[in-house]
Amino acid sequence: MANAYVVGTFDTKGDELRYVADLIEAAGVGTVTVDLSTGGEGASAADVEPPEVAACHPGGAGAVFTGDRGQAVGAMAVAFERYLVARTDVGGIIGLGGSGGTALVTPAMRALPVGIPKVMVSTLASGDVSAYVGPSDIAMVHSVTDVAGLNRISRRVLGNAAHALAGMVARPIPEESGGKPAVGLTMFGVTTACVTRITEALAGDFDCLVFHATGTGGQAMEKLVDSGLIGAVIDVTTTEVCDHLLGGVLSAGPDRLGAIARTGVPYVGSCGALDMVNFGGMDSVPERYRDRNLYVHNPQVTLMRTTAEECAAIGEWIGQKLNACPGPVRFLVPEGGVSAIDAPGGPFHDEAADKALFDALTATVEETAARRLVRLPHHINDPEFAAAVVASFRELTT
């Protein structure tokens, strides 16, 4: 039976957590209350007490109950993530807290598959919550008042959050019958022509999920791959790697391509927008880059052309990631240019830089029967290149 997990620090938020649990129970949904307190004193009124959660830490409960609050909160977050992902009855989860409670609960929420309801009532929810939500589907609810007792405001906010979670758990989304298999695709404005042609060619047979390669876009796609909700990937636009390696603002982090390696899903990739690193407005470009080839995409986005040396490092990084992928891989190299502005006469056209990228990929990728690098004489937005991507994808998925 699916239960709603109600989690937080019962030593300081006990009244509020029990209020939420009671409302969910009254709505006809079973609950499991989990105490994440790190003080290590007294018995808990929760169904799951802190020592049971803390025992899931790789270092045991002693690694959690250290007496240092900051260290204990971080360790309990690790323990709770390991505890939660091992449960088989999680129909949804709701947490309450301030900065500490939010940091305790949300890592475990992010570890759950996309689609399992997740609600976090937090004092931080009206600000930048990207560090807590990441690529997951956590619903952040601003507590308005501090989570420090029940009053006329907190009862409404907590009650709404409790009823929202109860509704999500009690009314699951019907499974789609006879649906098309899902494929994830990555796109940027400068690769739109290519990805549009690919989706048009595949739409009759696949549910095409297009992700904007803005850092969180790549993370979200790979989160869905890890969750088993995407069974194949057409990663035309790998530009987030540039930002990761060179300090741009749209990095997907060091785990880009990690889900492909972990799951072995069929993968067709390319070099889309590897000619650029993203920054904000012109005044946000780091001083060390001010004398570079910069292109104002719009007042809020400035692009920096990658050099031959940087492109070689990018190609090697991607090649090493591809070598770790056990599933079928095709990586197509568009020798005519990697973005709409990397074409003859375009502001980022740089044959030497592109050659350094392509040569590094060729030198690094270890080709096997399942893993192949294919160099093509087309620009990435040429119809012939999109057709080649589609042909490679169908080869891997039929």
Instruction: Locate CATH 3.40.50.12020 in the chain.
Output: 3-170
- Residue 45 pLDDT level (bands cut at 50, 70, 90): confident
Q: How far apart are CA 119 and CA 91, in angstroms?
A: 12
Say which residues have a Cβ less than 8 Å from residue 93's Cβ, sequence separation at least 6: 4, 5, 6, 7, 84, 105, 108, 109, 112, 116, 117, 118, 119, 165
Identify the pLDDT of residue 369. Answer: 95
Reported as a single tens digit per residue, the pLDDT across 198-241 is 999 999 999 999 999 999 999 999 999 998 999 999 999 999 99
Identify the pLDDT of residue 375. Answer: 97
67-96 burial by CB neighbour count: b if 16+ within 10 A, else e?
eeeeebbbbbbbbbbbbbeeeeebbbbbbb
Instruction: Locate CATH 3.40.50.12030 in the chain.
Output: 182-397
- Residue 92 pLDDT level (bands cut at 50, 70, 90): very high
Identify the pLDDT of residue 31. Answer: 98
Identify the pLDDT of residue 42. Answer: 58
CA-closest candidate to residue 139, choices 172, 104, 114: 114
CATH class, domain 182-397, is alpha beta
Q: How far apart are CA 349 and CA 391, in angstroms?
A: 27
Identify the pLDDT of residue 291. Answer: 95
- Mapping DSSP to helix (H, G, I), strand (E, B) and coil, where does residue 374 land? strand
Identify the pLDDT of residue 231. Answer: 95
Report field, pTM of the whole predicted structure over 0.85: no
Identify the pLDDT of residue 40. Answer: 67
Identify the pLDDT of residue 41. Answer: 61
Segment 81-90 shows an average pLDDT of: 96
Segment 63-92 shows an average pLDDT of: 93
CATH topology (fold) of 3-170: Rossmann fold (3.40.50)
Identify the pLDDT of residue 177. Answer: 56
For residue 76, pLDDT over 80 is answered with: yes
For residue 93, pLDDT over 60 is answered with: yes
Range name among 30-44, 57-71, 120-134, 328-342 with the lowest pLDDT average: 30-44
Chain length of the chain: 398
Which helix (H) or strand (E) segment is 331 a member of?
Answer: strand 329-334
- Residue 172 pLDDT level (bands cut at 50, 70, 90): confident
For residue 178, pLDDT over 80 is answered with: no
Range name among 65-79, 205-219, 325-339, 365-379 with the lowest pLDDT average: 65-79
For residue 390, pLDDT over 90 is answered with: yes
Segment 290-306 shows an average pLDDT of: 94
- Strand 207-212 versus strand 232-235 pairing type: unpaired
- Mapping DSSP to helix (H, G, I), strand (E, B) and coil, where does residue 289 land? helix
For residue 176, pLDDT over 80 is answered with: no
